[in-house]
A and B are shown apart, each in its own frame.
Chain A
Amino acid sequence: MEGDIATMGAYIGAGLASVGMGGAAVGVGNVVGNFLSGALRNPSAAAGQTATMFIGIAFAEALGIFSFLVALLLMFAV
């Protein structure tokens, strides 16, 4: 367990960056939750909107993926 301060900073930064994934979790939960509450009100219209839900999930998830990328860059590239 020895190393320099820069490595310590990189690892702490990687840990802090992964907090951003919580935001993606909130976003994805919001998308799916709202889709479900809409779908249960009008189940006949739900099937046509599944693709839209997945697009929404993908866009919400993208920003969480960026924080994951920052964490990975700090761990392996700096």
Chain B
Amino acid sequence: MATDVNGAAEQSGGLVFHPMDQFIIKPLFGDGAVGVFTVTNITLWMAITVLATVALLVLGSSGRATIPTRMQSIAELAYGFIRKMVEDVAGRDALPYFPYIMTIFMFVVMANFVGLLPGAFTSTSHIGVTAVLAMLVFISVTMIGFIKHGAGFLSLFWISAAPLPLRPILALIEVISYFVRPVSHSIRLAGNMMAGHAVMKVFAAFAPMIIISTGIGLVVTPLSILAIAAIYALEILVAFIQAYVFTILTCVYLKDALHPAH
């Protein structure tokens, strides 16, 4: 056993396994190449995410008990929380877009939480997943802006409060920052998820040190197991906060599209 771990450790440069190995996309059946329609582990876990979301919201709200069960409380809390957020941040006239924002929030928060199960695959840790979500928000928000205001939407970039000589420079900066939005929107979520899970795996790779050397392992192994527990608790918080931030930024972008004038 000890020689096995030692051999593996030497191959991967010190750690028992590489911390980024958990993000590798593998086909679920067989081991052929990954094509566009291949069913992979990320497909499986996204399907589980969607099923869990539907189960929580449909089963939770179907009872309609006066004294809510735990599940109904969670479903109602989530609904009220997002509705209040849309109303507060984007204004009352953004409420027609509330179902889409609710969908985004439930998918992201559920994917983050499902990814925290031991052995699960975090679908939101892949930029491919979050980039689709962010691009959908970006494209639909831009379309809403142009449909509602026509060319007046461009006044988002022309800051009338600034002195006139500064306005072209500010317009250039505003345009750049507008097009960087989907990038930062998607990488924030993917980066936070990926970094958190990679840190957990780094400590998980330090944990079997006691097998390799009983001297330093006696110190490193308990410390790293404690660190995993602490980081796991932090990751539960981060999973929720990143879903919240993703949703609130969607609301901010929507507000910009509905009220472009500064």
B206 to chain A, nearest CB (A): 20
In the complex where A62-B184, A65-B184 touch, is A51 in contact with B191 (Cβ < 8 A)? no
Contact of A39 with B by CB under 8 A: no
Q: Are A58 and B248 in contact (CB under 8 A)?
A: yes
| Residues of chain A with a CB closer than 8 A to B156's CB | none
Q: Contacts of B210 on A, CB cut-off 8 Å?
A: none
Question: Is the Cβ of B248 less than 8 Å from the Cβ of A62?
Answer: no
A57 within 8 A of B: yes
Q: Name the one of B89, B188, B249, B252 contacting A65, with C-beta atoms under 8 angstroms.
A: B188
Is A69's beta carbon under 8 Å from chain B? Answer: yes
A35 contacts chain B at the CB level, 8 A cutoff:
no
**Contact of B88 with A58 in the complex, beta carbons under 8 Å:** no
- B187 contacts A54, C-beta separation under 8 Å: no
Where chain A touches its partner, the secondary structure class is helix
Q: Quick one: which of A48, A55, A66, A68 contacts B248, CB cutoff 8 A?
A: A55
Which residues of A4-36 have CB atoms within 8 Å of chain B's CB atoms? none
Q: Which of B85, B188, B241, B252 is close to A62, meaning CB atoms less than 8 Å apart?
A: B188
* A58 & B187 in contact (Cβ 8 Å cutoff): no
A10 to chain B, nearest CB (A): 16
Chain A residues within an 8 Å CB radius of B88: 48, 51
Given A51-B89, A55-B248, A57-B245 in contact, is the A68-B191 Cβ separation under 8 Å? Answer: yes
Q: Which B residues contact A (CB, under 8 angstroms)?
A: 85, 88-89, 184, 187-188, 191, 195, 241, 244-245, 248-249, 252
12 A-B residue pairs with Cβ-Cβ distance under 8 Å, sorted by A, are A54-B241, A54-B244, A54-B245, A54-B248, A58-B249, A62-B184, A62-B188, A65-B187, A65-B191, A68-B187, A69-B187, A69-B191
Q: Chain A interface (Cβ within 8 Å of chain B)?
A: 48, 51, 54-55, 57-58, 61-62, 65-66, 68-69, 72
8 tightest Cβ-Cβ pairs between the two chains A and B: A62-B184, A58-B245, A65-B191, A65-B187, A65-B188, A68-B191, A69-B187, A51-B89
